[in-house]
Amino acid sequence: MLSTVQAKLLIVDDLPENLLALEALIKREDRQVFKALSADEALSLLLEHEFAMAILDVQMPGMNGFELAELMRGTEKTKNIPIVFVSAAGRELNYAFKGYESGAVDFLHKPLDIHAVKSKVNVFVDLYRQSKAMKQQVEALERSRREQELLLTRLQATQAELEQAVRMRDDFMSIVAHEVRTPLNGLILETQLRKMHLARDNAAAFTLDKMHAMVDRDERQIQSLIRLIEDMLDVSRIRTGKLSIRPARFDLAQLVHNLVENFAPQVAAAGSTMQLVVEGPVEGNWDEFRIEQVITNLLTNALRYGAKSPVDVRVYTEHGEARVEVRDRGIGISEENQKRIFQQFERVSASHVAAGLGLGLFISEQIVAAHGGTIEVESQIGEGALFRVCLPLEASV
Ligand SMILES: Nc1ncnc2c1ncn2[C@@H]1O[C@H](COP(=O)(O)OP(=O)(O)OP(=O)(O)O)[C@@H](O)[C@H]1O
Ligand SMILES: [Mg+2]
Q: What is the 3-state secondary structure (H, E, C) of the chain?
A: CHHHCCEEEEEECCCHHHHHHHHHHHCCCCEEEEEECCHHHHHHHHHHCCCCEEEEECCCCCCCHHHHHHHHHCCCCCCCCCEEEEEECCCHHHCCCHHHHHCCEEEEEECCCHHHHHHHHHHHHHHHHHHHHHHHHHHHHHHHHHHHHHHHHHHHHHHHHHHHHHHHHHHHHHHHHHHHHHHHHHHHHHHHHHHHHHHCCCHHHHCHHHHHHHHHHHHHHHHHHHHHHHHHHHHHHHHCCCCCCCCEEEEHHHHHHHHHHHCHHHHHHCCCCEEEEECCCCEEEECHHHHHHHHHHHHHHHHHHCCCCCEEEEEEEECCEEEEEEECCCCCCCHHHHHHCCCCCCCCCCCCCCCCCCCHHHHHHHHHHHCCCEEEEEECCCCCEEEEEEEECCCCC
Please check whether residue 119 lies inside any domain of the structure: no
Q: What is the pLDDT of residue 347?
A: 72
- Distance (angstroms) between ligand 2 centre and the Cα of 281 equals 27
Of 74, 96, 112, which residue is a domain's last?
A: 112
Among protein residues, the one whose CA lies closest to atom 20 of ligand 1:
358
**Statement to judge: residues 291 and 386 lie in one domain:** yes
Q: For atom 1 of ligand 1, which residue has the closest CA?
A: 302
Alpha-carbon distance 136 to 117, whole Å? 29
pLDDT the model gives residue 167? 87
Residue nearest to atom 8 of ligand 1 (CA): 301
Quick one: 256 and 326 in the same domain?
A: yes
Residue 122: per-residue pLDDT: 94
* Ligand 1 contact via 385 beta carbon (within 6 Å): yes
Q: Identify the pLDDT of residue 366.
A: 93
Same domain, 198 and 275: no
Q: What is the pLDDT of residue 99?
A: 47
- Give backbone dihedrals phi and psi of 17, rounded to 5 degrees, phi first: -70, -35
Q: How far is the CA of 297 from the centre of ligand 2 (A)?
A: 5
Contact 232, 176 (CB under 8 A): yes
Residue 180: predicted pLDDT: 87
Pick the atom of ligand 1 nearest to 350's CA. 31
Residues 262 and 227 in one domain: no
Domain co-membership, 286 together with 343? yes
Residue 362 beta carbon below 6 angstroms from any ligand 1 atom: yes
Q: Are residues 375 and 296 in the same domain?
A: yes
What CATH number is associated with residue 171? Answer: 1.10.287
Which of 317, 307, 326 lies closest to 260 in space, CA to CA?
326
Instruction: Ligand 1, residue 384: give the atom nearest the CA.
Output: 3
How far apart, in whole angstroms, are the C-alpha atoms of residue 311 and residue 386? 10
Confirm whether 131 is domain-assigned.
no
Looking at ligand 1, which atom is closest to the CA of residue 346?
14
Q: From 239, 258, 284, give the residue that closes a domain.
A: 239
Question: pTM value?
Answer: 0.60
Residues 353 and 387 grouped into a single domain: yes
Same domain? For 254 and 372 the reply is yes
Q: Return the ligand 1 atom nearest residue 359 CA.
A: 26
151 assigned to some structural domain: no
Tens-digit pLDDT profile for residues 350-373: 555 556 778 899 999 999 999 999
Cα–Cα distances in angstroms (integers) from residue 335 to residues 161, 379, 388, in the given order: 24, 7, 16
- Where does a domain end: 77, 112, 147? 112
Question: Looking at ligand 1, which residue's alpha carbon is closest to its atom 9?
Answer: 301
Task: Please give the tally of structural domains in the chain.
Answer: 3
CATH at 375: 3.30.565.10
CA of 258 to the centre of ligand 2 (A): 19
Distance of CA 357 to the CA centre of its chain: 28
**pLDDT, position 396:** 53
pLDDT of residue 101: 54
Q: What's residue 4's pLDDT? A: 66
**Residue 353 φ then ψ, to 5°:** -50, 145
- Residues 214, 285 share a domain: no
| Same-domain status, 181 and 64 | no
User: Are both 80 and 101 inside the same structural domain?
Assistant: yes
C-alpha 129 to ligand 1 mean position (Å): 70
Residue 314 is part of which domain span? Answer: 248-392
Low-confidence ranges of the chain (pLDDT < 50): 99, 102, 397
Ligand 1 contacts CB of residue 360 (under 6 A): yes
**256 with 364, same domain?**
yes
Residue 124 lies in a domain: no
